[in-house]
Structure 1
């Protein structure tokens, strides 16, 4: 028997399945449009936050999105291949030297954050659209406010014709943080210096912070994929990602027995353990060792021992025996274990969980009817 002759139904590539609800993704974009009250883009960097640019970008286009942001030129190429020619695509992480030809060939727009980048883009061809990134407090990328004001109306920018003025919020997820008010004030002054240029400041959480940070274009990312943009309050977004793994094996251990590498967990009494076929090679953090959870039969079951490369061990003692069997599903993301909860349990944030989900899972994308989307 050859690999090509094995029935697809029996050739499962992984012991865990990642389900991505494209209908929920589109609904989340529409909810963000309503909250922002403006044109709303979609950030699809990090392979659409781990959900796959080739499937996510067209779903967002179908929902009505027309402007997209990626981090790298390679992601821009993937987005361009997945989207109609009229889609607007911005590349966030600067403008690498000598790359103007690739940008022009792909018809994508750099986000320019230094005088050197602006000069090179201007030299590559007058009038080609680009965004200007001004740093208002993050101190990562972007022109300083004074530097941007000095360039406003000058001959260099006249050769670029900026299509967007943007900055990035430092603490949008913390309502009332004073730094947000300072950034909003600084950005308002910058916007006044660039009349007629559309402006963008609000990210996922910024959409919910009020008029001071809402401008012409919102650019949410995490919230599109089900992350909570309003920490401490109910999540207004629908869940998009669900991760389930089958139980590979169940065993009984006695008091004093250990589990996993380096014996980092010891049974306090007779316990029942179940092993799942996924691990840190699949993007589930090793930091979740002895602190993560999964749901089996609706029961929260703690991780025991160290998360290894391909396996996780659960304590399933509290699960009714009738719900335990080889092949039974355990939910690692979904239901009571939303992205933010999973992140906290691993000592990190939901963003890292989402973007770190590996490529080995059996993946399926659901359409508007809840059926597996073709492709």
Structure 2
């Protein structure tokens, strides 16, 4: 272990606290997990709460059943769940305004458990990505722009939006890519396809849908994590793409025209040559779509992506006390592991967890040193 000066996100003057609300009502809870997943995926949660079987109703029907009254968990179709966590200035007097909202989503499944430990309910769900994933569309809106379609879907699902305007009719993408769209696809799949064509990222945080360049989501500052200080466990793995043949294709076109330009960059490693023809041989192929580039710009983009993929990737995971400021947009800086691994990393998944009985707030963080763009096969 390398001895360093203190470099870590410490909260020495407060204790972790959490609040859970179900349908805008504060509820007691035993524990929760919130998974903040990668781009284009839904964030998920698991919430465990005590449940009561009563002779007659006292208070809310959210976490109770009586012979005459059903819990709303069995009767209401859309149940909103909000999870807050953090370190309030006064841990004995706080509200959700003193904490960070880590989940704003809706219930998917409910499990009721009755055993010698008593009665409890486990609620699982997704963030506001869920309505888009559950809604199919047969219209592909070829005469509208990507931003207009995304705005329309956000309004239909009752979400606020932060959308970068686009100006190309999406029918151009369908014809120029020669893609075959399925008869009915989900709104989420269609929006992700359009984000890929625009070189954008699609994301939902809280009650807001974001659609814009990926770099605009990433935070410029890093959060420090130091082995031996604020890291409990740490695992690092070198996964060299350089051990594979790499081929990168960048496809572009002039909006409104049929002209299609493909730029290719490839790299054959000495290792890949030695194992060619054996079961160990692997080829890494990536395809990207960027409209409106010249041939030279497309080639430059392919070369840049190839350079990134040719690097040795370091991936890892760590566990630590919970940090309510950490999400997948927040890069980290690793310390205490030495030259070559004390690097800037980008999260690929963040899991927050809270145990109310023990008063423990923990976090697991998965990360990579390569901030790679999202690739696509060009069809949905």
Give the shorter-chain TM-score range.
Answer: under 0.3
Considering fraction of residues, name the structure with more helix: 1
TM score, norm. by length of structure 2: 0.25
Considering fraction of residues, name the structure with more strand: 2
TM score, norm. by length of structure 1: 0.25
